[in-house]
């Protein structure tokens, strides 16, 4: 049975189904239960935005509210993963990764390699990413490129409820550390989602729209902006192919290159800061491997190289919008080789 649910509900459902299926799945994080030790309902909060609400009532002490101590509990989750559990640790905001990054990039990501393939670390680290939530510069970043940079980490960033459920189930079943990035402005976004369990394989991009004139690649929230841009372009008789990467590591190079070989034009949209991000990564890969197919310079659409502004009007301008994406597509169609990336 399929019904329309929000991405927040889909994530909750994925956690619930995997906890039911596999007794080694546990959840850890700050306030994921909420209210423990205080009078009142045990699962009053279910996380800062209510994503894990109701799971404590179903799974009890397999949910662990942790102290405000990212370096301790992320390390504990990683250690538990090497010893047979499948912890899903919630970092609340991915912006807090800094205080526990050694555990993630120098420990979890390296164990399989350093122990000669004998150690596995099936841990998932969930957290919110992205701007547009009026949460200011320290709670609004799209740090996906930092995680994608590290070999040994898998990086997921869904754009909708269906993908979020299937990718989170796959993340929990995967035997490597997965950084699961949830765009907070998509939590309320609803799509048709089956009630059953299903897993979406990593490294399979989703082609949301077919088109022969220009390829637009994105992930997360900006996928929706790219689709709006494609609608606008269609009115000008320009057919854009829109690719949602879904997973950033591994990444589906084949789908990107296949599309560019047909369209000859590429626009990459990334909500992350413009230097060394997915847009630069994909542009460089296509330039090196499919240069002959390109009919015009690749266009990158990103925010400016600044912290996310707190001023609502500036924050709205900061995130790449449909107009900017459509304009970039028109530039590639005009054959302009000039880059317009903000410096």
Three-class SS of residue 333? helix
Select from 4, 198, 275, 323 the one that contacts another protein (CB under 8 A): 198
296 lies in the binding site for another protein (CB under 8 A): no
Establish if 210 lies at the interface with another protein (CB under 8 A): yes
Residue 23, interface with another protein (CB under 8 A)? Answer: no
From the CB of 138, what's the least distance to another protein, in Å?
37
Confirm or reject binding of residue 56 to another protein (CB under 8 A). no
Q: Is 99 in the site for another protein (CB under 8 A)?
A: no
Binding window for another protein (CB under 8 A); candidates: 66-74, 131-139, 143-151, 196-204: 196-204
Q: Are 132 and 315 in contact (CB under 8 A)?
A: yes
Q: Which is nearer to another protein, 200 or 272 (CB)?
A: 200
Handedness of CA 187, 317, 272, 280 (dihedral sign): positive
In the shown chain, the binding pattern of residues 163 to 182 toward another protein, with x for contact by CB under 8 A and - for none, equals ---x----------------
Q: Is position 199 an interface residue for another protein (rule: CB under 8 A)? A: yes
CB of 94 to another protein, least distance (A): 27
Q: Which of 207, 232, 293, 341 binds another protein (CB under 8 A)?
A: 207
Q: Going by DSSP bridges, is the β-strand pair 154-156/240-244 parallel, antiparallel, or unpaired?
A: unpaired
Structure tokens at 128: 């919110």
User: Residue 197, interface with another protein (CB under 8 A)?
Assistant: yes
Decide: is 250 part of the binding site for another protein (CB under 8 A): no
Give the span between the Cα atoms of 150 and 77, in whole angstroms.
19
CB nearer another protein, residue 2 or residue 306: 2
CB of residue 306 vs another protein: minimum separation in angstroms? 37
Contact 272, 320 (CB under 8 A): no
- In the list 41, 254, 316, 323, the residue contacting another protein (rule: CB under 8 A) is 254
> Which of these, 110, 116, 123, 121, lies nearest to 151 by C-alpha position?
110
Q: Which of the residues 59, 139, 183, 273 is marked catalytic?
A: 139
With binding defined as CB under 8 A, does residue 234 bind another protein?
A: no
Q: How far from chain centre, in Å, is Cα 260?
A: 23
Among 196, 313, 334, 343, binds another protein (CB under 8 A): 196
What is the dihedral sign for C-alpha 102, 108, 110, 115? positive
| Residue 37 burial (10 A CB sphere; 0-12, 13-18, 19+) | exposed
Residue 224 among the catalytic residues: no
d(CA 279, CA 297): 13
Select from 258, 293, 321, 341 the one that contacts another protein (CB under 8 A). 258
Is the C-alpha dihedral spanning 271, 277, 278, 279 positive or negative?
Answer: positive
- Contact between 159 and 244 under an 8 Å Cβ cutoff? The reply is yes
Q: Which residues pair with 27 in a beta bridge?
A: 63, 88
165 CB neighbour count, 10 Å cutoff:
30
- Regarding 323 and contact with another protein (CB under 8 A), the answer is no
Binding residues for another protein, rule: CB under 8 A, are 1, 162, 166, 194, 196-201, 204, 206-207, 210, 254-255, 258
| Residues known to be catalytic | 139
């Amino acid at each position: 049975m399929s019904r329309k649910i929000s991405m927040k509900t889909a994530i909750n459902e994925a956690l619930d189904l995997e906890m039911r299926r596999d007794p080694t799945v546990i959840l850890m994080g700050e306030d994921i239960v909420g209210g423990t030790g205080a009078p009142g309902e045990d699962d009053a909060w279910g996380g800062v935005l209510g994503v894990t609400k109701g799971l404590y009532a179903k799974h009890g002490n397999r949910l662990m509210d942790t102290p405000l101590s990212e370096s301790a509990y992320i390390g504990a989750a990683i250690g538990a993963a090497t010893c047979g559990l499948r912890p899903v640790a919630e970092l609340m905001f991915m912006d807090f990764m800094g205080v526990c990054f050694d555990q993630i990039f120098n420990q979890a990501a390296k164990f399989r390699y350093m122990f000669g393939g004998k150690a596995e670390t099936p841990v998932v680290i969930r957290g919110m990413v992205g701007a547009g939530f009026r949460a200011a510069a320290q709670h609004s970043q799209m740090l996906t490129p930092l995680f994608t940079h590290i070999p040994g980490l898998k990086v997921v960033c869904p754009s909708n409820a269906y993908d979020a459920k299937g990718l989170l189930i796959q993340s929990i079943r995967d035997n490597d550390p997965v950084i699961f990035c949830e765009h907070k402005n998509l939590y309320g976004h609803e799509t048709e989602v089956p009630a059953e369990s299903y897993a979406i394989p990593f490294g399979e991009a989703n082609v949301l729209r077919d088109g022969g004139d220009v390829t637009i690649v994105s992930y997360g929230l900006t996928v929706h902006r790219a689709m709006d841009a494609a609608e606008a372009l269609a009115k000008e008789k320009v057919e854009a192919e829109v690719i949602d990467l879904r997973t950033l590591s591994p990444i589906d190079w084949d789908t990107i290159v296949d599309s560019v070989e047909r369209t000859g034009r590429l626009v990459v949209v990334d909500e992350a800061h413009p230097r060394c991000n997915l847009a630069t990564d994909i542009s460089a890969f296509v330039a090196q491997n499919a240069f002959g197919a390109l009919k015009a310079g690749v266009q990158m659409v990103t925010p400016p190289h600044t912290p996310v502004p707190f001023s609502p009007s500036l924050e709205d301008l900061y995130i790449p919008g449909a107009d900017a994406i459509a304009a970039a597509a028109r530039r590639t169609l005009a054959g302009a080789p000039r880059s317009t990336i903000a410096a």
